[in-house]
Amino acid sequence: MRLRHLTVWIALLFCVAAAPAQDKGKPAANKAEPTADKPNKNTKTQTASVKPDSSDKPAKPVGTIAPVKTKAAPPTAPKRRARRRINLKLPKLGAPKTRISAGTRGSEDDPDAPPKVTVLATDHVGLTSQTAPTLFWHLSTATDAKLIVAVIDTKTLKNVARVVIPGKHEPGIHGFDLAKHNVTLKPGVDYRWLVTVVTGERPTSKDPYASALIRRVKLSADDAKALAEATPEDRPYIVAQLGHWYDVLKSVHTQIVTDPSDVSWREVRAQLCDQADLPDVAAAERKLVKTPAP
């Protein structure tokens, strides 16, 4: 009987030894697994230490972008085109000299002295084919004085124009367009035009002035056709051969204002002044473009 109980005890002992040992870290099989929304109280929640991505970092302030410094464009170099010399063919009228210049010459040493005024005209009566030409004059220095431009009919001795031009006036060549003042010239009539620098409140006989004669003539059909077919650059040379002083001055002036950088036209105007015995004006023109006299 005791042997039988010993055999049973040994069998039970072998069954327990054969059973797999349970891992100490695992919960018992009969205990519920923790759900995702209800963590186990005994389980410590681990917070991941995530390094922020570079995109999460605050952007570094860029500040104000400094403006790009660009070099200023160099001034346009004056054009010195080779132009043929202009030859003025003045008509032989056999009349006495009619160009007049009176008054004092302005001086750099005396800035208050009035400028010398010189009308751009020939010694004798100058010709034009225009109904209302442009008259040009030259001031030797700058002035704040007002100018008076007058045009007188030598037959009737009446003013056909008298215009006061207030200062300030720069040195150099100035123009007066008769068309803008509704002044027309009759063919075959001599007109005296003059420019006065008024040094006081009212004009006096001591004020510097200059004057010349102008006469309107008619163009022949052939000359009118040649001028109509000519290019703007050729027109001054054609008019110079006709001997129309005021018209050639205007055509050259038009070229100067059309392209001020083309200084070759100023040299052409200086050549015209040489031939009209206006050396001071010619020298002033060449000084502007720094070209030597021929």
What is the structure's pLDDT at 31? Answer: 40
Q: Domain span at residue 279?
A: 100-289
Does residue 147 lie in a domain region?
A: yes
- Which pLDDT tens digit goes with each residue over 179-237? 999 999 999 999 999 999 999 999 999 999 999 999 999 999 999 999 999 999 999 99
- Which pLDDT tens digit goes with each residue over 8-62? 444 433 443 444 444 444 444 444 343 344 444 444 434 333 333 444 444 443 3
Of 59, 22, 27, 29, give the one whose Cα is nearest residue 41.
27
**Exposed e or buried b per residue across 201-231, where buried means at least 16 C-beta atoms within 10 angstroms of its C-beta:** eeeeeebbbbbbbbbbeeeeeebeebbeeee
What is the structure's pLDDT at 60? Answer: 40
What is the structure's pLDDT at 97? Answer: 84
| Beta carbons of 196 and 180 less than 8 angstroms apart | no
Q: In this structure, what CATH number is given to the domain that contains residue 248?
A: 2.60.40.1220
Strands, DSSP E only, in the chain? 100-102, 117-119, 126-128, 134-139, 146-153, 158-165, 172-177, 190-198, 209-216
Does residue 12 lie in a domain region?
A: no
Distances (CA, A) of 292 to 91, 266, 272: 29, 12, 15
Mean pLDDT for 267-274 is 96
Amino acid letter for position 145: A
| Beta carbons of 126 and 212 less than 8 angstroms apart | yes
Of 276, 127, 161, 137, give the one whose Cα is nearest residue 209.
137
What is the structure's pLDDT at 293? Answer: 60
| Beta carbons of 96 and 220 less than 8 angstroms apart | no
What is the structure's pLDDT at 79? Answer: 62
pLDDT tier at 127 (50, 70, 90 boundaries)?
A: very high
Mean pLDDT for 130-135 is 98
| Beta carbons of 132 and 183 less than 8 angstroms apart | yes
Stretch among 94-108, 151-165, 246-260 having the lowest mean pLDDT:
94-108
What is the structure's pLDDT at 73? Answer: 45
Nearest 5°: phi and psi at 168?
-100, 150
Domain count, the chain: 1
Mean pLDDT for 147-156 is 97
DSSP string of 213-279? EEEE-PPPHHHHHHHHHS-TTTHHHHHHHHT-HHHHHHHHHHHHHH-TTBTHHHHHHHHHHHHTT-H
Percent above pLDDT 70 for the chain: 67
Does residue 158 lie in a domain region?
A: yes
Mean pLDDT of the chain: 78
pLDDT tier at 291 (50, 70, 90 boundaries)?
A: low
Amino acid letter for position 119: V
Q: Is the peptide bond before 168 cis (omega within 30 degrees of 0)?
A: yes
Does residue 128 lie in a domain region?
A: yes
Joined together, the tokens standing for residue 85 give: 């010399």
What is the structure's pLDDT at 58? Answer: 42
Percent above pLDDT 90 for the chain: 59
Distances (CA, A) of 192 to 189, 213, 260: 10, 5, 31
Does residue 48 lie in a domain region?
A: no
What is this structure's pTM? 0.70
Half-sphere exposure of 151 (CA within 13 A, CB side): 23
Does residue 5 lie in a domain region?
A: no
Of 158, 159, 163, 216, give the one whose Cα is nearest residue 190.
216
Check pLDDT > 60 for residue 83.
yes
Mean pLDDT for 129-158 is 97
Rg (CA), the chain: 51
Of 206, 194, 207, give the one whose Cα is nearest residue 162.
194
Number of other CB atoms surrounding residue 251 within 10 Å? 23
Stretch among 40-49, 236-245, 262-271, 273-282 having the lowest mean pLDDT:
40-49
Does residue 213 lie in a domain region?
A: yes
Does residue 71 lie in a domain region?
A: no
What is the structure's pLDDT at 191? Answer: 98
